Structure 1
């Protein structure tokens, strides 16, 4: 490791940290557009307005840069979602109300942390080379915890008679997450085509139309 690189790792100055955050944002945009495998440090450096050598002042490799995106941002968002989701599941409300709040929580977290969460979905962390690392396993565990919260609300709905019982809750959950997660292909904050709020309303209307129990 070069002396410059060792010095950079210990640099906590506001200017260095601000530049590092800007670089992470640029890298996230490039990874989202090209995909992790196709994106290169040259692509990121060009978009950032610098050369490849300067990238090494902040990160030793593309892999380290990609990892930092998730360690610095995504893990915290997943923690917040699990915490907020747990609170929603415990409120005194019927299952449809809880589920709507969970959908809202998830979609707004995607919008407010764009494109980091979408990058996580796009790259399918379970298939990446990082899956054996502790931080990747931690992310997958947090994702499964949130999915379990949703599954629990769906099961509550079946038990209380608000959700239909002829469709397995596991299948309902897959349908719901399929709709939400596919938005990484087309929902872009600031595009003025459709925003997270409109998407929440539309998805809940469509999902509840099929999932709600029919009156006897």
Structure 2
């Protein structure tokens, strides 16, 4: 117990000091952890194997992160926050039409999956339901950010329907879930640097969605 408390104090002090070497090693561990979580699953991944891949023993990993859960949270934090902030900016840009804003939001999420690969996919892949069941402040913040994205997409679809630019015979929630389904399912096959860049994927999804939701001629 005393040793654990000592490591915790050292970790807190190192974070406050924020040396380049310390932060660089934390970033390396986050990168390795994200890939291990995606490939093997959160539950099957151990701190020991994450440490081994970074050249550290399990005990030394605790100098950088207090637990596997803390590593997972750090994997998500930056990607989720950056994505939502950018989606909110796009959605509130009144110089864009509602259709341009919705296309922009869809492009942004796919871009975030690419830029923050594979960390955001870990959340979608197996931990979304687990987090939704948690009562911790962190879990509720992540869920709140997810709900913001959902509200943005549903609001823009509603606006397009009200303007007569999209068909009204399909419920907004169904249309929105079609968007979420297309984007989130990419965790099964998308990899940066693959045959289809993120922008090509999101533009394809946009075309499929907008063509399918186009208002039918009388």
1:139 matched residue in structure 2? 142
Q: Spell out, residue by residue over 1:120-154, the C-alpha distance to the aligned partner (whole angstroms, 9 max, x if none).
A: 22234332387211111011111111111111111
1:96 aligns with one of 95, 99, 102: 99
1:13 matched residue in structure 2? 19
Distance in 2, matches of 1:4 and 1:187, equals 38
1:209 matched residue in structure 2? 211
Distance in 1, matches of 2:34 and 2:86, equals 21
Q: Is the 8 A contact 1:85 1:146 kept in 2?
A: no
Instruction: List, as ranges, runs of 4+ consecutive aligned residues in structure 1 with deviation greater than 3 Å.
Output: none
2:152 matched residue in structure 1? 149
TM-score by length of 2: 0.89
TM-score by length of 1: 0.89
Distance in 2, matches of 1:130 and 1:58, equals 27
Q: Is the 8 A contact 1:81 1:146 kept in 2?
A: no
Distance in 2, matches of 1:118 and 1:168, equals 27
Deviation of 1:82 after TM superposition, in Å, equals 4.2
Distance in 1, matches of 2:84 and 2:209, equals 26
Distance in 2, matches of 1:122 and 1:85, equals 26
1:80 matched residue in structure 2? 85
Query: In angstroms, what is the RMSD of aligned CA positions?
Result: 1.9
Q: Is the 8 A contact 1:26 1:47 kept in 2?
A: yes
Distance in 1, matches of 2:137 and 2:163, equals 39
Distance in 1, matches of 2:133 and 2:31, equals 20
Size of the aligned set, in residue pairs, is 212
Distance in 1, matches of 2:9 and 2:30, equals 19
2:199 aligns with one of 191, 197, 200: 197
Where does the alignment leave 5 or more consecutive residues of structure 2 unmatched?
none
